[in-house]
């Protein structure tokens, strides 16, 4: 599939114990269906050709020969099907019996991978019949071909270099040192597990946790196919609990006993990129056999979830996230105030979201320090574009939080400044706007000097990404508490804190949340309403935060970001709009790096930060030509 997405399926077909030909037919039908559905990686359960619960029948030559014949049939019938398939069977090598996974594709048997760790809970478990698989690789004859036999085999796709598969079997996942650890270090981005894990009360939760943990630790995709209907229920029951995980996230799972298969698209290029970022995964391991296969290249159709708000979780997780972030911001600011021995915190209140959040964080910090909130000097500085609505929000918020309120009008100061530099105030250009922003910063800095205080910055991560701030104006402060909080998350944080505070503060904050985002640097319209609306000028913040996440956090190229945006916002924006604002994002992101190269200290609260000291390092004069060229080629 395109953009590095690999469609994987884990399936538990209805089997019969010790009937490899019946099982072969069931597996063949599932393989044909998977091929029609565009599946590129197909995984069946452990010992799926024989059934896992054969007991001492595993010692019968009739069963072993029957499984080999059934495997030969599956391999032959896969001709023309370029899906990489894994089935389980008992296999004899060197006079010993092994629990194996057979990998095949397009009419060719590729390798046999034995199980390394055999459970031995009692005399009826696997060590009664099977031998533990060895490290390394030897070669053996099977299905008329000479193929690798051993645990250390990598299956690599000719058409997608990031699609590299390795295999472990059931118990291999549950032991302290799983084979998949070495497989991932050798380069495997996807681990498949052919399993027959009996069901017990609570075991499905533990199984899910194991997959999440292993896929996160190894930064890999993990496809787990579990035995289900048809296994013997003499002493146990098998639920067919199939799961597909990616880097700590369960993409899909089937409910136990549902009898369903699961599909998901694993983003192998993202996994490869994450590993490069970590710089902890070496290239191909020594002693591994590399087997080539070739999947079908097809247009990408996603079924996995791609949320519109990658920075904002949902449900109860959002509540927990908001409290955690606000606590982190407040603790960091409290530490800075204490270490700076600042008597006050000085903050400009505009009546907008960002300054509201910074003010709420400052109040929390003062509560942590046991300081009187009267020592928070909150300053509203009405200018040419200030509306009565935002001014009233500012004054009301200061009052409700118990801060010391100051009103410093800046219009006359700015007009005098225009006289000094010879600027016509009727020309409402960038000079007209930025002079107001810099005047406000001058006021805050001087008030901080007057009161022995520290200026708390209000700008957020989205504004830094776009450079939507005035250099040495609202760009500057003494500590920037919102610097790693994107605009889409600012709204959630303010809303959460409003509900927590209640009363007058909640009423005012709800008013702020419903107000258009604006720097209010241009005069209001004839009715006294905000005329300068930020999102009309730079684009919707929900798009820019989406683009920011996938550009900086995931390092995706523009085409892939656009593809994901089309999927996530398909009912909200036409393609032409997405292309327009993606171009704008890249132009501004590159052109405005000089502002980010000298931003003040600020607390990092999430996985994306643009601090030049510890996170994002980029030349201020880098060009966006390569990225823009890729977008320009896209229709729309």
Kindly give, in sequence order, each residue whose CB lies less than 8 Å from that of residue 61, ignoring residues fewer than 6 positions away: none
- What is the C-alpha separation between 162 and 172, in angstroms, rounded? 24
Closest Cα to residue 224, out of 258, 265, 195?
A: 195
Does the annotation count 24 as an active-site position? no
Q: Report phi then psi at 225, rounded to 5.
A: -110, 125
**Torsion angle, alpha carbons of 317, 319, 320, 324, to 10:** 130
Q: How far is CA 424 from CA 235, 411, 419, 420, in A?
A: 90, 14, 8, 11
Torsion sign across C-alpha atoms 331, 332, 333, 335: positive
Partner residues linked to 535 by β-bridges: none
618 dihedral zone (left: phi>0; alpha: psi -120 to 50; beta): beta
- What is the C-alpha separation between 358 and 458, in angstroms, rounded? 5
Cβ pair 96, 129 in contact under 8 A: no
Strand (E) or helix (H) holding 286: none
Does the annotation count 542 as an active-site position? no
- What is the C-alpha separation between 420 and 403, in angstroms, rounded? 35
Q: Report phi then psi at 89, rounded to 5.
A: -160, 160
Q: Which of 7, 24, 30, 115 is catalytic?
A: 115
Partner residues linked to 191 by β-bridges: 166, 222
User: Please, what's the b/e burial string for 288-302 (b: 16 or more CB within 10 A of its CB; e: otherwise)?
Assistant: bbebebebeeeebeb
3-class DSSP assignment, residue 596 = helix
- What is the C-alpha separation between 507 and 501, in angstroms, rounded? 10
Rounded to the nearest angstrom, the gap between the alpha carbon of residue 472 and the centroid of all alpha carbons in its chain is 34
- What is the C-alpha separation between 313 and 321, in angstroms, rounded? 8
Q: Which of 24, 170, 322, 469 is catalytic?
A: 170
Does the annotation count 46 as an active-site position? yes
Q: Report phi then psi at 508, rounded to 5.
A: -70, -45
344: number of Cβ within 10 Å: 22
User: 526 exposed, middle or buried (CB, 10 Å; 0-12, 13-18, 19+)?
Assistant: exposed
Torsion sign across C-alpha atoms 215, 217, 218, 219: positive
Q: Which of 30, 46, 171, 253 is catalytic?
A: 46
Q: Residue 53 is encoded by which pair of tokens?
A: 């619960």
Q: If you compute the radius of gyration of the chain from its CA atoms, what whole number of angstroms results?
A: 31
Cβ pair 268, 257 in contact under 8 A: no
Write out the catalytic residue numbers. Answer: 46, 115, 170
């Amino acid at each position: 599939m395109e953009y590095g997405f690999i469609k994987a399926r884990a399936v538990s077909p209805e089997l019969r114990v010790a009937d490899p030909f019946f099982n072969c037919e069931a597996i063949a039908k599932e393989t044909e269906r998977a091929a029609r559905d565009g599946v590129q990686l197909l995984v069946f359960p452990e010992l799926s050709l024989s059934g896992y619960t054969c007991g001492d029948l595993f010692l019968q030559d009739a069963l072993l020969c029957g499984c080999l014949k059934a495997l030969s049939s599956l391999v032959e019938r896969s001709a023309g099907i370029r899906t990489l398939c894994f089935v389980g069977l008992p296999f004899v090598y060197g006079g010993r019996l092994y629990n194996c996974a057979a990998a095949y594709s397009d009419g060719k048997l590729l390798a046999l991978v034995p199980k390394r760790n055999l459970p031995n809970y009692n005399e009826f478990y696997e060590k009664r019949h099977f031998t533990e698989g060895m490290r390394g690789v030897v070669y053996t004859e099977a299905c008329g071909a000479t193929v690798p036999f051993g645990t250390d085999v990598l299956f690599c796709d000719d058409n997608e270099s990031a699609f590299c598969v390795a295999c472990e079997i059931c118990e291999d996942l549950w032991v302290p040192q799983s084979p998949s650890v070495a497989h991932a270090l050798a380069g495997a981005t996807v681990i498949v597990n052919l399993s027959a894990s009996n069901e017990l009360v609570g075991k499905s939760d533990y199984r899910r946790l194991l997959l999440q943990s292993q896929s996160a630790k190894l930064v890999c995709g993990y496809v787990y196919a579990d035995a289900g209907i048809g296994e013997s229920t003499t002493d146990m029951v098998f639920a067919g609990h199939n799961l597909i995980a990616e880097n700590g996230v369960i993409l899909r799972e089937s409910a136990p006993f549902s009898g369903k298969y699961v599909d998901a698209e694993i983003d192998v290029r993202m996994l490869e990129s994450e590993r490069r970022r970590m710089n902890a995964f070496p290239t191909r391991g020594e002693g591994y056999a590399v087997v080539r296969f070739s999947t079908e290249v097809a247009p990408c159709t996603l079924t996995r979830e791609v949320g519109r708000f990658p920075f904002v979780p949902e449900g109860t997780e959002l509540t927990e996230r908001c409290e955690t972030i606000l606590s982190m911001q407040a603790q960091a600011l409290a530490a800075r105030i204490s270490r700076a021995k600042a008597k006050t915190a000085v903050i400009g209140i505009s009546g907008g979201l960002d300054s509201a959040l910074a003010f709420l964080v400052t109040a929390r910090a003062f509560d942590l320090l046991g300081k009187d909130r009267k020592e928070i000097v909150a300053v509203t500085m009405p200018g040419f574009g200030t509306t009565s609505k935002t001014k009233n929000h500012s004054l009301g918020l200061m009052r409700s939080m118990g801060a010391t309120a100051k009103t410093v009008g800046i219009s006359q100061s700015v007009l005098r400044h225009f006289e000094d530099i010879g600027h016509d105030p009727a020309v409402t250009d960038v000079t007209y706007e930025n002079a107001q922003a810099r005047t406000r910063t001058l006021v805050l800095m001087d008030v901080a000097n007057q009161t022995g205080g520290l200026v708390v910055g209000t700008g957020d991560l989205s504004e830094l990404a776009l450079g939507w701030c005035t250099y040495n104006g609202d760009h500057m402060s003494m500590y920037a508490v919102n610097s790693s909080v994107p605009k889409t998350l600012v709204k959630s944080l303010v809303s959460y804190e409003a509900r927590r505070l209640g009363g007058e503060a909640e009423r005012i904050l709800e008013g702020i949340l419903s107000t258009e985002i604006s720097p209010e640097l241009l005069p209001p319209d004839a009715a006294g309403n905000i005329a300068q609306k930020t999102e009309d000028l730079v684009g919707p913040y929900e798009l820019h935060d989406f683009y920011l996440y996938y550009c900086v956090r995931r390092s995706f190229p523009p085409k892939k970001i656009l593809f994901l945006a089309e999927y996530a916002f398909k009912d909200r924006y036409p393609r032409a709009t997405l292309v327009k604002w993606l171009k704008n994002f890249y132009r501004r992101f590159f052109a405005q790096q000089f502002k980010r190269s000298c931003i003040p200290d600020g607390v990092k609260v999430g996985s994306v930060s643009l601090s030049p000291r510890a996170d994002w390092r980029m030349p201020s004069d880098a060009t966006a030509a390569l990225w823009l060229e890729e977008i320009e080629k896209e229709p729309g």
